């Protein structure tokens, strides 16, 4: 059987992996149906771009499974006019999805090589409202705060204080946090000086390595105490 075209495969991905698993936000489904994921993976992986799985990137990192990206973006519930922070930009794919729904996306990635690739991928995909910075995203991007939402694509020992502080009122931080060996995807919503918390369940992400994250790539010691 001939392989599906990327556009067909993308439509099937939206239906089978997202709609059937309960993603309902029309904007999120539309954005996921628009962004060409094949442009965010290495050429030899393009034929797997719409598979129900994470895929490898450079430096031992991974582009998240489409469903997990949709789940995080849906949970972030920001508005069209909002600025959004994407921590752990990797390939730039999640940033491209966010860019369909926000006015501006700021991405932070710690590996220079991935920063370069993300910029290239975003340009190839025609995405113009994402700016990618190289650095430690566990500290956020104070010069561009506050953000309507912050999405973190790497797991942390706890929700980093600087990220919570950089949320706008009502803004949401979506972050995988490790507790006793497994990770939970948490959604923190800013309500004045307080934060309400919701747990979306178990997930698996690479470690957030930085001042407010883990100290090394093995996810060993926490950088904060």
94 near ligand SAH, rule: CB under 6 A? yes
Query: What token pair was written down for 145?
Result: 């705060």
**What distance in Å separates the CA atoms of residue 192 and residue 112, rounded to the nearest whole number?**
36
Is 38 a binding residue for ligand SAH by CB under 6 A? The answer is no
Residue 133: CB minimum distance to ligand SAH, A: 9
- Our finding on whether 114 is near ligand SAH (CB under 6 A) is yes
User: What six digits make up the tokens of 87?
Assistant: 């921590």
Q: Which is nearer to ligand SAH, 108 or 125 (CB)?
A: 108
Long-range contacts of 58-62 (CB under 8 A, 24+ apart): 58/111, 58/113, 58/114, 58/117, 59/111, 59/113, 59/114, 60/206, 60/217, 61/90, 61/111, 61/114, 61/206, 62/90, 62/206
Q: Does 61 bind ligand SAH (CB under 6 A)?
A: yes
Binding of ligand SAH at residue 186 (CB under 6 A)?
Answer: no
Give 155's DSSP letter: B
Taking the C-alpha atoms of residue 184 and residue 204, their distance in angstroms, rounded to an integer, is 8
Is 141 near ligand SAH (CB under 6 A)? no
> Which segment (6-14, 44-52, 170-178, 205-213) binds ligand SAH by CB under 6 A?
205-213
| Interface positions with ligand SAH (CB under 6 A) | 61-64, 87-91, 93-94, 108-111, 114, 136-138, 153-154, 206, 208-210, 213
Which residues form the catalytic set?
A: 64
């Amino acid at each position: 059987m001939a392989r599906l075209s990327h556009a067909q495969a993308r439509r099937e991905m939206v239906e089978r992996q997202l709609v059937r698993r309960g993603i309902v936000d029309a904007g999120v489904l539309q954005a996921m149906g628009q962004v060409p994921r094949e442009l965010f993976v290495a050429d030899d992986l393009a034929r797997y771009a719409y598979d129900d799985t994470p895929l490898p990137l450079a430096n031992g990192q991974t582009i998240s499974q489409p469903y997990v990206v949709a789940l995080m973006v849906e949970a972030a519930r920001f508005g069209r006019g909002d600025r959004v922070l994407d921590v752990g930009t990797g390939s730039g794919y999640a940033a491209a999805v966010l860019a369909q729904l926000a006015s501006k996306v700021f991405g932070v990635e710690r590996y220079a090589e991935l920063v370069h690739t993300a910029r290239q991928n975003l340009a190839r995909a025609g995405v113009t409202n994402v700016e990618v910075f190289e650095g430690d995203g566990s500290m956020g991007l104070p010069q561009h705060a506050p953000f309507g939402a912050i999405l973190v694509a790497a797991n942390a020992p706890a929700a980093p204080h600087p990220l919570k502080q950089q949320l706008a009122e009502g803004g949401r931080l979506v972050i995988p946090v490790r507790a006793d060996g497994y990770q939970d995807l948490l959604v923190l919503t800013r309500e004045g000086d307080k934060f309400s918390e919701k747990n979306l369940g178990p997930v698996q992400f690479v470690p957030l390595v930085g001042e407010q994250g883990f100290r090394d790539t093995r996810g060993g010691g926490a950088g904060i105490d």
